[in-house]
């Protein structure tokens, strides 16, 4: 019997929606199980310090998902995530050590759970406050203020010695039964699975679709009756919740929380790992985060090998070299990703994730050969397109063309422009993705192929769509003031 929802559900315009056969499903489930089983087996079989590193990777993945919520889903840059993670870590350690007396007596599982709940709540509250601020301050300015907030946390809040015990750090004793590195690694993996589940189920629910629509265009979302403010706050709070869980896990993993753990470089590295992972792409972010967490350890033997090859490279064998090389390679990787592969790791592994999700195995985003050109175009355009912007239609094509041919005279330029305006500009979103659903129905977009340009430029608050460009065109040629627009941009 068809209910109302069932009538509304098939929003896809594709008639030939392909479904794998039973055999196909079995194969997919088997591979998925094999991957999960591989992780579990790996964690169980490695030495203790490697299990400890796996725990770190899992915690980084939680942090990555938390940042992805803000950065990838609602398209705002938070450079102060170390504050949320750090505050939560200190609160968890403070509760366990000062209130529950874990330092000398050992810790019960219930104490651990309580600490984690407190940590998650504190992270949610702190991020909720940031969300309120983010309603007024956006884009570049939000990035700036979050960075300042992170620095204040690091230099002020985390140094309040009666709360954090200063440079010596606050101990956080692992709960009984989970003291060993293997056991604790499994505990973090369980938490990671929980966070992934929450993230996944939220993003495929009404809330998730609403959040994505807010990212794409606030006015459009509002016109569909979506409570823009409310959903933005929800995304921030959820991000803080994840950060809080990560903070608590990090505290118990390190068994000692110090301000140094939440440094400036750390938080920037977190942002870069999400970018490299692929904004808005869950699988990519997890892989990217785990990669950044593990990278230094993997690099160590490589550097040793390199250092042994040739005399002048000998310094690579020094114990300190690893720290520098990690920063250099991480940052270079991020720049490379931003410029060349805006979809990040998520885009590279998308054939596999799509296959596992029940589609055909193919190397291009939506499983249909005819979109291949558009997909590659998308990857070129959507430099961090996941952040929410695409280049606006025709004008940019002109700019790109003139980059190559470089018309020399004003006349030539004018001709180019004329041609550009003469040819009808493709309608923004539908033209690029004819198959795409209307914005409000952007179901399951969290797992959408990355690199797809988002339909409406909004996020940075500074880019102007084609329309506004045209509007201000003549005025700006005369360098007329457009103060109102700028002011608006800052306050929005």
Partner 1 sequence: MDRKRLIGIVVVGCMLLITAACGQKPGVIKEATPAGAAGGLGGGEIPPGAEIDPETGELLDAEGNPVATSTGSGTSTGSGSGTSTGSGTSTGSGTGTSQAAPGEPSGGNSTGVGDDVIKIGIHAPLTGAAPVPSDSVEKGKDLYFRWLQSKGIKINGREVKVVLKNDNYNPSQAVSVCKEMVEKDKVFLLSGAAGTDQIQACARYAASVGVPYVSAGVTERGVTGLPNYFTTSATYADQGPLLADYMASRLGAKGEKNGLVFFDTPNFQDAAAAFKSGLRKQGVKLHYEKYVSKAADDDEAKNVIGELKAKGIKNVYVLTSPFWFIDLNKECTLQSYCPQWVGVGISMTFDSVASASCPGIDGAAFFSPFPAWSESKRYDADFDAAVRRFHPEEGGGDDFMWLSWIGTKVIGEALKYPGRNLTRERFVYFLERKRGLNVGVGPRLSYSPDNHFGARTVYVNDARCRGGKQPADNRWHTLVSPPTADF
Partner 2 sequence: MRTGVVVGVIAGIVGLILILGWGDVEGPNGSIVIGLFQGAAYGLLAVGLVLVYKGTRVFNFAAGEFGTLAAFIAFLFIHQWKVVPYGLGILFALIAITLLGLFMERVIVRPLMHAPRVTLLVATIAFGLLLVGVELFAFRPEPKNLHPLIQGIDQATGQPVGPELAGYFVSPQEMVIVGVVLALAASLGWFFSKTDLGLAILATSQDAFATRVVGIGVARTSQLIWGMAAFLGALAGLLYVPAGGALAPGVITTQTLIPAFTAAVIGGMTSLPGAFVGGIVVGLLQQLALWASGHYYLGDQPWQQLIPGSADVAVFAALLVVLLARPQGLLGTEA
Single out the residue of 413, 428, 441, 444 in contact with partner 2 (rule: CB under 8 A): 413
Query: Residue 145 touches which of partner 1, partner 2, none (CB < 5 to 8 A by kind)?
Result: partner 2
Asked whether position 161 contacts partner 1 by CB under 8 A, the answer is: yes
Single out the residue of 169, 288, 455, 461 in contact with partner 1 (rule: CB under 8 A): 169
Query: Residue 444 touches which of partner 1, partner 2, none (CB < 5 to 8 A by kind)?
Result: none
Asked whether position 302 contacts partner 2 by CB under 8 A, the answer is: no
3-state secondary structure of 433: coil
Query: Residue 318 touches which of partner 2, partner 1, none (CB < 5 to 8 A by kind)?
Result: partner 1
Single out the residue of 107, 147, 234, 456 in contact with partner 2 (rule: CB under 8 A): 147
Region 273-292 residues binding partner 2, contact defined as CB under 8 A: 275
Asked whether position 399 contacts partner 1 by CB under 8 A, the answer is: no
3-state secondary structure of 413: helix
Asked whether position 184 contacts partner 1 by CB under 8 A, the answer is: no
Q: Which of 124, 100, 121, 123 is nearest to 112 (CA)?
A: 100
What is the C-alpha to C-alpha distance for residues 163 and 167, in angstroms, rounded to an integer? 11
Q: Total number of residues binding partner 1 (CB under 8 A)?
A: 35
Q: How many residues does the chain have?
A: 492
Region 344-403 residues binding partner 2, contact defined as CB under 8 A: 383-384, 387-389, 391, 395-396, 398-399, 402
Which residues are CB-neighbours of 287 under 8 A, at least 6 positions away?
A: 277, 345, 346, 349
Asked whether position 404 contacts partner 1 by CB under 8 A, the answer is: yes
Asked whether position 361 contacts partner 1 by CB under 8 A, the answer is: no
What is the C-alpha to C-alpha distance for residues 120 and 49, in angstroms, rounded to an integer? 27
For 478, list phi and psi in degrees, rounded to 5.
-85, 10
Give how far Cα 441 sits from Cα of 207, 426, 437, Å: 12, 22, 6
The count of other CB atoms within 10 Å of the CB of residue 257 is 29
Name which of 16 and 403 has its Cβ closer to partner 2.
403
Give how far Cα 20 sits from Cα of 11, 357, 358, 361, Å: 20, 10, 6, 10
Asked whether position 320 contacts partner 2 by CB under 8 A, the answer is: yes
3-state secondary structure of 256: strand
Least gap, CB of 169 to partner 1 (angstroms): 5
Where does this chain bind partner 1 (CB under 8 A)? 47-49, 52, 154-156, 159, 161, 165-169, 254-261, 312, 315, 317-324, 328, 403-404
């Amino acid at each position: 019997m068809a209910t109302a929802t069932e009538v509304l559900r098939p929003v896809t315009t594709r008639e030939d929606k392909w479904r794998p056969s039973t055999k196909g499903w079995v194969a997919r489930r088997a591979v998925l199980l094999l991957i999960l089983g591989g992780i579990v087996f790996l964690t169980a079989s490695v030495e203790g310090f490697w299990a400890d590193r796996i725990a770190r990777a899992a915690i980084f993945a939680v942090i990555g998902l938390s940042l992805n919520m803000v950065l990838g889903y609602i398209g705002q840059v938070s450079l102060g995530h170390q504050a949320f993670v750090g505050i939560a870590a200190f609160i968890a350690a403070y509760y366990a050590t000062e209130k529950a007396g874990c330092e000398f007596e050992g810790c019960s599982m219930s104490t651990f759970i309580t600490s984690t709940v407190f940590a998650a709540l504190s992270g949610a509250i702190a991020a909720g406050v940031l969300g309120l601020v983010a309603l007024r301050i956006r884009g570049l300015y939000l990035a700036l203020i979050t960075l300042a907030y992170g620095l204040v946390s690091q230099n002020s809040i985390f140094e309040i010695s009666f709360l954090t015990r200063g440079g010596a750090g606050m101990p956080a004793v692992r709960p009984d039964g989970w003291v060993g590195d293997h056991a604790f690694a499994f505990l973090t993996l369980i938490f990671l699975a929980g966070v992934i589940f929450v993230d996944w189920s939220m993003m495929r629910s009404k809330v998730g679709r609403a959040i994505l629509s807010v990212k794409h265009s606030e006015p459009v979302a509002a016109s569909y009756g979506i409570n823009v403010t409310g959903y933005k706050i929800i995304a921030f709070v959820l991000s803080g919740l994840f950060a809080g869980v990560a903070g608590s896990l990090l505290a118990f993993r390190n068994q000692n929380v110090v301000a140094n753990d939440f440094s400036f470089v750390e938080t920037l590295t977190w942002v870069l790992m999400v970018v490299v992972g692929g904004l808005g792409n869950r699988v990519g972010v997890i892989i990217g985060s785990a990669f950044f967490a593990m990278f230094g350890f993997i690099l160590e033997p490589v550097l040793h090998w390199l250092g042994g090859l040739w005399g002048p490279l000998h310094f690579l064998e020094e114990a300190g070299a690893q720290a520098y090389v990690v920063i250099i390679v991480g940052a270079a990787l991020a720049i490379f990703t931003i410029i060349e592969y805006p979809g990040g790791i998520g885009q590279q592994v998308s054939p596999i994730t799509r296959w596992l999700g029940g589609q055909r195995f193919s190397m291009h985003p939506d499983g249909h050969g005819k979109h291949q050109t558009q997909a590659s175009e998308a990857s070129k355009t959507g430099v961090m397109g996941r952040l929410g912007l695409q280049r606006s239609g025709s004008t940019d094509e002109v700019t790109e063309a003139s980059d190559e041919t470089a018309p020399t005279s004003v006349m030539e330029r004018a001709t180019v422009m004329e041609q550009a305006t003469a040819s009808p500009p493709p309608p923004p979103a539908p033209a690029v993705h004819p198959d795409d659903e209307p914005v409000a129905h952007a179901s399951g977009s969290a797992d959408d192929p990355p690199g797809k340009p988002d339909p409406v430029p909004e996020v940075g608050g500074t880019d102007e769509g084609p329309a506004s460009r045209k509007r201000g065109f003549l005025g700006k040629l005369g360098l007329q003031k457009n103060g109102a627009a700028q002011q608006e941009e800052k306050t929005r």
